[in-house]
């Protein structure tokens, strides 16, 4: 019987991003050593980040995913995390990127808050 290889998948939902741009950002901040797979599922526009995230997890096979991180600068980017966890049982975390240090939207106040991607290793070590 074949054993499942668990992946550590990050789902980077960065506004105005493409997979190539997201990979470059993660490489620039030396985050590639933390994430085996780097995926941007929402390039520039999206009708439903929730629907895209659900479809992506389904296509990757939820049983193989150890953890998913939803990183973004919009509330809808990180609010996908509990939906994935509820639907697929994949441990999911939302990380709200607040570059400008403006007031955090109430709906994401309980999620991780960062001002730069440099702070992600601190979250991953928790």
Query: Residue 17's pLDDT is what?
Result: 65
Paired with 8 in beta bridges are 67
Single pTM value for the model = 0.81
The pLDDT of 40-68, averaged and rounded, is: 78
How far does Cα 126 stand from its chain's mean position?
16
CATH architecture of 7-124: 3-Layer(aba) Sandwich (3.40)
Q: Are 73 and 98 in contact (CB under 8 A)?
A: yes
Q: Domain locations in the chain?
A: 7-124
Q: Are 10 and 97 in contact (CB under 8 A)?
A: no
Counting Cβ atoms within 10 Å, is residue 31 exposed (0-12), middle (13-18) or buried (19+)? buried
Query: Residue 82's pLDDT is what?
Result: 95
Query: Residue 48's pLDDT is what?
Result: 80
Taking 50 as the threshold, does the pLDDT of residue 80 lie above it?
yes
Taking 50 as the threshold, does the pLDDT of residue 55 lie above it?
yes
The pLDDT of 97-123, averaged and rounded, is: 90
Taking 50 as the threshold, does the pLDDT of residue 18 lie above it?
yes
Q: How far is CA 59 from CA 29, 52, 55, 62, 74, in A?
A: 28, 10, 6, 8, 24
Using pLDDT thresholds of 50, 70 and 90, give the confidence band for residue 101.
confident
């Amino acid at each position: 019987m074949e054993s499942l290889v668990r992946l550590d998948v990050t789902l980077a939902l960065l506004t105005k991003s493409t997979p190539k741009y997201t990979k470059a950002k993660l490489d620039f901040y030396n985050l590639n050593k933390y994430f085996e797979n780097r995926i941007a599922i929402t390039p520039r526009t999206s009708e439903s980040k929730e629907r895209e995230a659900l479809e992506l997890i389904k296509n990757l096979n939820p049983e193989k995913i150890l953890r998913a991180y939803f990183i973004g600068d919009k509330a809808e980017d990180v609010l996908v995390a509990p939906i994935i966890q509820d639907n697929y049982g994949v441990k999911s975390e939302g990380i709200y990127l607040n570059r400008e240090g403006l007031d955090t939207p109430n709906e994401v106040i309980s999620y991780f808050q960062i001002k730069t991607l440099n702070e992600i290793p601190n979250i991953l070590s928790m």
